[in-house]
Amino acid sequence: MRPSLNFRHTFAEINISHLKHNLRQLRNLVPEGTFFCPMVKSYAYGHGDLQVVSALIEEGVTDVGVALLEEGVRLREAGFKKININVFGPFDLEGAKTLFKYELTPMISDFRQLRFLQQSILSEQQIEIHLKMNTGMNRLGFSSMEIPEIKQFLNEFPRIKLRGLCTHLSKGEDMGCEGSFSLKQLQEFEKITNQFPQNNLVTHVLNSSGLLGLFTLSQQEPWQRYWPVGVRPGIALYGVLPSFKSEKVNSEVIKKLKLKPVMCLKSEVIQVHELEPGESVSYGNEWVAQQKSVIGVMPVGYADGYTRHLSNKGVLILGGKKIPVIGIVCMDYTLVDLTKLLAQGIIKSSQEAVGKELTLFGESKTGDYYPVEELAKKAGTIAYELLACIGKRVPRQYLKEHQ
Ligand SMILES: Cc1ncc(COP(=O)(O)O)c(C=O)c1O
């Protein structure tokens, strides 16, 4: 089934059952009561924030994470009143007032943010915050040297209540390796948490790779002491398994966890051309037919997130067979080579190709499968970027249970 306002038949199928399956797999790894905060930033990695959050709530999730304050406001305005919305990104003074208004929980990374909170807090108001600590990624977060000053600030303004401490791993995939940077970050974070002896604080560290890696190593030295700790899974929730530097960890993770891809991007052939040798396709005439060829046009381009880096490199699936992208990916169109499919009799004639469904990545209901990770490699990027950049003009079709 296709979405209704979709006259070019390009759409993303979002499998909510797969999302819920992945969620359960990940949640089962951590003991009950561990801080568990699925990341739904950037339109839930392209999958649709409102639908994803709805599904997570149905499964009993109590916390979600967004990058932008604006994303948190959007969730509240959509009616998600009860769930804790943790905001990881920056805000200004106006933003601080907005945090109070919408009852959002900020992850505070610097004194500027603390001062904005202090300046905008109204009498009788209070707010819970988490402190984001820099343990080596050097992106956001306080340094451990700033802890005395933070404590002084929090003592002076007791209505700004410390609820949690967190950090972010820069290289979760290296868990289990000699000289692991993640291990250094865990050690550094432990030193930091030791300086906050309050026993009601939540602590959270692990992204998808961190969670899977540390879970796998949780019975072993020197990792054991750091497990369990709060988790913030993103990409794994959407069905993409991180790949680990340590072969052992990798194979353990693959054995233990069966994730299912949530998004499947689809389009169809809208026109075919029969080319003579020497004829070319698309901008710049970069791809030139070496033989008599049949090429197809699909109505999806870089404006939809099918990146131009896939020019002459992308692969997609038609009728269970891989076919190559040829020529330059345009803003609205991409061209594919159908010659082999005709030669193999998978398509009987050029004209029969028109209207054939194409699976650009993911697992389709009709049984085609091409992992987004592989397509991302062809584009010289990662699955995160491909998923998060699927354009707003691509309708999302939500498949619910048993559909
Ligand atoms: C602060 C924070 N936590 C967790 C995540 C989730 O990471 P992943 O998608 O690798 O699980 C992200 C994503 O980049 C993040 O920025």
CATH code of residue 364: 2.40.37.10
pLDDT on residue 402: 56
Please list the residues that pair with 65 across neighbouring strands. 39, 86
Q: Indicate whether 164 and 283 sit together in one domain.
A: no
**Distance between Cα 113 and ligand 1 center (Å):** 21
Atom of ligand 1 nearest to the CA of 45: 9
Could you give the 3-state DSSP secondary structure of residue 8? coil
pLDDT on residue 4: 81
**Closest by alpha carbon to 16, among 57, 76, 64?**
57
Q: State how beta strands 315-318 and 357-363 pair.
A: antiparallel
Give the domain-ending residue among 223, 256, 289: 256
CATH code of residue 232: 3.20.20.10
pLDDT on residue 262: 98
Residues with CB under 6 Å of ligand 1 are 39, 88, 168, 207-209, 232-236
**Long-range interactions of 144-148: CB distance < 8 A, separation 24+:** 144/188, 144/191, 144/192, 144/195, 146/111, 147/192, 147/195, 147/196
Q: Indicate whether 305 and 391 sit together in one domain.
A: yes
**Distance between Cα 388 and ligand 1 center (Å):** 13
**Protein residue with its CA nearest to atom 1 in ligand 1:** 168
- Per the structure, the complete domain to which residue 215 belongs is given by 15-256
Q: Indicate whether 231 and 297 sit together in one domain.
A: no
**Distance between Cα 67 and ligand 1 center (Å):** 9
For the whole prediction, is pTM greater than 0.75?
yes
CA distances from 328 to 105, 269, 323, 334, 354 (A): 45, 17, 15, 7, 21
Residue at 59 is within a domain = yes
Residue bearing tokens 């879970």: 215
Residue at 176 is within a domain = yes
Q: Indicate whether 81 and 229 sit together in one domain.
A: yes
Atom of ligand 1 nearest to the CA of 235: 9
Atom of ligand 1 nearest to the CA of 207: 11
**Distance between Cα 207 and ligand 1 center (Å):** 5
Residue bearing tokens 């991409």: 334
Q: Indicate whether 227 and 304 sit together in one domain.
A: no
CA distance 269 to 279: 20
Q: Which mutation among 167, 207, 214 tests ligand 1's pocket best, with the greatest number of atoms within 8 A of CB?
A: 207
Q: Indicate whether 170 and 242 sit together in one domain.
A: yes
Beta carbons of 181 and 136 less than 8 angstroms apart: yes
Q: Which mutation among 232, 238, 253 tests ligand 1's pocket best, with the greatest number of atoms within 8 A of CB?
A: 232
Give the domain-ending residue among 235, 256, 277: 256
**Protein residue with its CA nearest to atom 13 in ligand 1:** 234
Distance of CA 373 to the CA centre of its chain: 12
All residues at 6 or more sequence positions from 262 whose CB lies less than 8 Å from its CB, including other chains: 14, 15, 16, 18, 19, 22, 47, 237, 238, 239, 362
Q: Indicate whether 343 and 220 sit together in one domain.
A: no
Residue at 212 is within a domain = yes
Averages of pLDDT over each 10 residues, the chain, 403 residues = 88 97 98 97 98 98 98 98 97 97 98 98 95 97 98 97 98 96 98 92 98 97 97 98 95 95 98 98 98 98 98 96 97 98 94 96 89 98 98 95 58
The residues carrying an active-site annotation are 41, 283
**Distance between Cα 285 and ligand 1 center (Å):** 40
Residue at 293 is within a domain = yes
pLDDT on residue 367: 86
Q: Indicate whether 21 and 148 sit together in one domain.
A: yes
Q: Indicate whether 45 and 101 sit together in one domain.
A: yes
Q: Indicate whether 362 and 381 sit together in one domain.
A: yes
Residue at 4 is within a domain = no
pLDDT on residue 366: 77
How many domains is the chain built from? Answer: 2
Could you give the 3-state DSSP secondary structure of residue 78? coil
CA distances from 259 to 53, 235, 293, 363 (A): 19, 11, 39, 12
Q: Which mutation among 23, 29, 39 tests ligand 1's pocket best, with the greatest number of atoms within 8 A of CB?
A: 39
Q: State how beta strands 357-363 and 334-337 pair.
A: unpaired
